Structures are given as C-alpha cells and as structure tokens.
Amino acid sequence: MFTGIVEELGTVVERAPRLRVGCAEVLTDLSEGGSIAVNGVCLTAVEVAGDSFAADLAPETIGRSNLGDLMEGSRVNLERPVTPATRLSGHIVQGHVDATGEIAAIDSLGNGNYWLKVRVPQALDRYLVEKGSIAIDGISLTIAAITGAVVGVTVIPHTFANTTLGRARVGSRVNIEVDVIAKHVEKLMRR
C-alpha cells in the first residue's frame, strides 16, 4: 500500500530487458523482492544496485499503464510502500492502475499553482466524485471538478516541482487509479 506522496523523481536508465531506474532516496531501505511504486504502478524490485533498481514489466502492466511509453531519460515518480508506523498523508493507493488518462490542459493559476485537467475513461466515471481522491501517475490528488469525462485538480507548487507533473504536456498519457473504497462500496451495493 502507498499514500500517493511522491518521495523522489527517478530517471529511467534502461528500458529493456528490464526497467532500470536511477535514484537515491528510495534505495535506502529497498531490497530485492520489495515493492516500489513507479508512476503509481506497484512493481517488484528484482535487482537493487548502488544507484538504481530494476523491475520486470508484465504484459498486463504495459497494457494498463504508461510504463510501456517510458524511454531512457524519462523521469518517473517513486514512492516506497507505507509501514505500520507511517503517517497516511495522501490517501490509500494500491499501485494497481485502473487505466490511463490523457492530459487535456495544464493552466497556470499564478503563484506556482496549476489547474490540471485529465480526460479519464468513461468506465471510471462512477468512482469519481468532487472532493474525492484520485491517483494520477501515483500522485494523491483531490478532485475539484468533473465535467463529462474530464477531471480537474489543483496542483500546488511543491507537487508541480517535485513530481512528473512539472514536465507533463497536453496529450501525455498518465496512470489513473481510482479510490479502492469506492469500488468495494459499488460491489457491496450490487448484492
């Protein structure tokens, strides 16, 4: 389980045969077999070196996320899993991406704040509510507006500067994970 609070920006140093990410902070307690969220996707570190880790990408992961689009030099959001004593600063993020969305707009609101609009698949609409949570590329964000298939969120200066959103462009694919609690409630209500 993750919180959606990005700890570090890593850099893809190799794409094949395994995804290798250069980083520093998240390596301090990462060991082989440990979980790590990369752009919000829970991966298993299969190799840990002094300045990087490697992970295998399953066909399901490539098909459901934007990790297949990464190239050498791409920047990625990294987060280690929570521990029982960790504060839950964001929201419950499993690292199980539901689909990808597309950045529709990134507009400056002044003072380093941005209004981000993301087009999400219609199938996820039923899990999205204003003031609810959404993970975009593994970043815990609060939904401020929903207009059709477009979700709007405010991005504060810290998040813009310390995540991949600071480098995102209109048309970019982003990983979307909706609130798992909403999915459980839906299933219970059907019964």
The first and second tokens of residue 120, run together, are: 């999400």
Residue 174 has which token pair?
A: 């982003």
104 — pLDDT class (breaks 50, 70, 90): very high
CATH number at residue 107: 2.40.30.20
| Domain boundary residue, one of 79, 109, 124 | 79
Q: Which domain holds residue 159?
A: 99-190
Out of 3, 23, 37, 42, the active site residue is: 42
Q: Is 142 a catalytic residue?
A: yes
∠ Cα 94 30 5 (to 5°): 40
Q: What whole-number distance in Å separates Cα of residue 132 and Cα of residue 127?
A: 9
N residues, the chain: 191
Among 86, 89, 108, 142, which one carries the catalytic annotation?
142
Instruction: State the catalytic residue, choosing from 2, 3, 159, 164.
Output: 2
Annotation marks residue 159 as catalytic: no
The single residue of 11, 44, 104, 154 carrying the catalytic annotation is 44
DSSP of 66-126? SGGG--TT-EEEEEPPP-TTS---S--B-S---EEEEEEEEEEEETTEEEEEEE--GGGGG
- Does the pTM surpass 0.75? The reply is yes
How many Å apart are CA 145 and CA 143, to the nearest integer?
6
Residue 90 covered by a domain: no
Is 154 annotated as catalytic? no
Known catalytic residue at 96: yes
Position 19 scores a pLDDT of 97
Task: Report, as an integer, the average pLDDT of 104-133.
Answer: 96
Q: Is the pLDDT of residue 184 over 80?
A: yes
Check whether residue 75 and residue 108 sit in a common domain. Answer: no
Question: Any catalytic annotation for residue 86?
Answer: no
Label residue 186 by pLDDT band (50, 70, 90): confident
- Look at residue 92 and tell me if it is in a domain: no
Residue 35: active-site member: yes
Is the Cβ–Cβ distance between 96 and 42 less than 8 Å? yes
